[in-house]
Amino acid sequence: MLPLPPRRELPGRLARLLPGLVLFGIGIALMVDADIGLSPWQVLHQGISRRTGIPLGTVVIIVGVIVLSLWIPLRERIGLGTVGNVIIIGVVLDIALWLSPIDELALWQQVAMMVSGVATIGVASALYIGAGLGPGPRDGLMTGLAKRGYRIGLVRTAIEVTVLVIGWLLGGTVGIGTVTFALGVGPIIGALLPRLQYASHEAALERS
């Protein structure tokens, strides 16, 4: 288990983590309602949900726990943000989908909703990563494998292609939203993370 930060830093870090995780769940819900493609992991989650009848957010939690169990042989350490990532995103996603029953949408509405979802997930990712309270289970799997000597880019690509193909075969939605997510989220996080990353008390003193 990752140690908690100093008590004086915890409120500031939580003020990034919790909104970030809530926004992440809302962003996924927007992309689901747009119905023109999801991120690779969400394609997998949706495929499982469609095959089993389990609510999508609940599937997100279940898969998160399974992925987290893969950390054990990799000796990755769980943080407060890791636990929050597993639980909060799935719960918010189920609530958001329950509150937003969407009938047929015009194509421009689908595209607008999808782009809003990608942007929301990008902002959310910068917030919760910037909190510095531990990676999500899927990111931790990637970094854990990379520490075993594999190139992180290769590991990420292999994992995401694998879950994308499995999810598509199970009936998850692949489309322009999948491509937009792949191309758009990284630059959004890259632009926002330096501004949203929590600066520890010690780092702030060094800069002053």
- Residue 193 to residue 207: CA distance in whole angstroms: 18
Greater confidence, 6 or 67? 67
Q: What's the sign of the alpha-carbon dihedral 12, 16, 18, 19?
A: positive
Tokens 């493609």 sit at which residue? 37
Alpha helical stretches, state H, 53-106? 56-69, 71-74, 80-99
- Residue 74 to residue 34: CA distance in whole angstroms: 36
Q: 79 and 135 in contact (C-beta within 8 Å)?
A: yes
Q: Give the model's pLDDT for residue 147.
A: 85
- Residue boundaries of the structural domains of the chain: 20-197
Greater confidence, 176 or 153? 176
- Residue 68 to residue 138: CA distance in whole angstroms: 8
Indicate if the pLDDT at residue 205 is higher than 70.
Answer: no
Residue 160: pLDDT band with limits 50, 70, 90 = very high
Calculate the dihedral angle through the C-alpha atoms of 187, 189, 190, 195, rounding to the nearest 10 degrees: 140
